[in-house]
């Protein structure tokens, strides 16, 4: 059922992605159980006339306090006002068979697929990163490359080593979900910017030093070329497009 929402509208896709992220966070012990509580007992006692769509909106608003990305509708640019209870109830019924118990890499891939982002990335081409080095992930992949690096290489932390640039609402949502999966304390490592905006000499990311710049190959949809753009923009960084 979740996969079917890709053919729907942005609020439905956004809501489905958030629901899975919240539920996994609950199971990981990073937030109090609400969606995953047996019978949603606490919610049933206090809901009054509110429905399951209201529950999702309330949980998102609470999550936005520490992680405005992916939970703040204003930061993402997609609203959840028109969600209906029947749709959210269906997603809740499907949670156990979709995202809750997947290994981390598969879960992030599933969320990327739901959000319509590329998933066939040559992660094996990424280089070894040392704990003091800084990585910029270019717009296009929504944090998937940094997630792979942090989960497969020792000594790295998302909020310390990585900056993820996102050019669309879907990339922002996925980068935020990556942060939740890796227990990042905030979403400060995420920057909303397009490839076109990076062309400005005054762009804040162009003023910073990175040891690695990673992103998507042009033939896979990446909008930036190594030879005539990236090598000049991020002088001294090792460039890896996958």
Give the pLDDT confidence of 16-35 residue by residue, as tens digits. Answer: 999 999 999 999 999 999 99
For residue 111, tell me if it sits in a domain.
Answer: no
For residue 45, tell me if it sits in a domain.
Answer: yes
* Cross-strand pairs, 165: 191
Q: 235 with 136, same domain?
A: yes
For residue 108, tell me if it sits in a domain.
Answer: no
- End of a domain among 71, 101, 131? 101
E strand spans, the chain: 135-137, 162-166, 190-192, 212-215, 238-241
| Token pair listed for 116 | 């319509």
For residue 82, tell me if it sits in a domain.
Answer: yes
Number of Cβ within 10 Å of residue 57's Cβ equals 19
Residue 194 pLDDT > 70: yes
Q: 95 with 18, same domain?
A: yes
For residue 7, tell me if it sits in a domain.
Answer: yes
The domain tally of the chain equals 2
Task: Report d(CA 154, CA 90) in Å as an integer.
Answer: 39
* Contact residues for 93 (Cβ-Cβ < 8 A; gap 6+): 1
Output the CA–CA distances (angstroms, integers) from residue 177 to 2, 14, 85, 186, in the order listed.
16, 11, 23, 11
Query: Residue 121: what are its φ and ψ, rounded to 5°?
Result: -115, 135
For residue 235, tell me if it sits in a domain.
Answer: yes
Mean pLDDT of all residues in the chain? 91
Q: 28 with 97, same domain?
A: yes
Q: 44 with 94, same domain?
A: yes
The whole-number average pLDDT for the span 174-186 is 97
Q: 14 with 89, same domain?
A: yes
Q: 87 with 155, same domain?
A: no
Neighbouring C-alpha atoms within 13 Å toward the C-beta of 23: 27
pLDDT band at 2 (very low <50, low <70, confident <90, very high): very low
Residue 7 pLDDT > 50: no
Q: 95 with 153, same domain?
A: no
Give the number of residues written for the chain: 242
pLDDT computed for residue 62 by the predictor = 96
pLDDT band at 141 (very low <50, low <70, confident <90, very high): very high
Segments forming the whole domain that contains residue 56: 3-101
| Token pair listed for 139 | 């717009």
CATH number for the domain including 138? 3.40.50.150
The whole-number average pLDDT for the span 3-16 is 72
């Amino acid at each position: 059922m979740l996969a079917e929402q890709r053919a729907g509208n942005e609020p439905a896709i956004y809501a489905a992605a958030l629901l899975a992220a919240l539920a996994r966070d609950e199971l990981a012990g990073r937030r109090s159980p609400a969606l995953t509580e047996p019978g949603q007992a606490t919610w049933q006692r206090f809901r009054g006339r509110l429905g399951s769509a209201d529950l999702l909106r309330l949980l998102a608003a609470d999550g936005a306090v520490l992680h405005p990305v992916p939970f703040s509708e204003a930061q993402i640019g997609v609203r959840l006002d028109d969600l209906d209870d029947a749709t959210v109830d269906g997603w809740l019924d499907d949670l156990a068979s979709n995202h809750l118990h997947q290994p981390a890499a598969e879960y992030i891939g599933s969320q990327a697929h739901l959000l319509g982002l590329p998933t066939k990335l040559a992660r094996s081409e990424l280089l070894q990163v040392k704990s003091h080095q800084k990585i910029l992930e270019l717009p296009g992949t929504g944090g998937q490359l940094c997630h792979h690096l942090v989960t497969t290489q020792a000594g790295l932390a998302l909020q310390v080593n990585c900056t993820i640039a996102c050019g669309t609402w879907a990339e922002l949502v996925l980068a935020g979900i990556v942060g939740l999966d890796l227990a990042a304390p905030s979403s400060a490592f995420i920057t909303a910017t397009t490839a076109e905006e990076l062309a400005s000499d005054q762009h804040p990311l162009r003023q910073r030093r990175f040891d690695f710049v990673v992103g998507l190959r042009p033939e896979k949809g990446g909008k930036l070329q190594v030879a005539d753009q990236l090598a000049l923009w991020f002088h001294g960084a090792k460039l890896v497009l996958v």
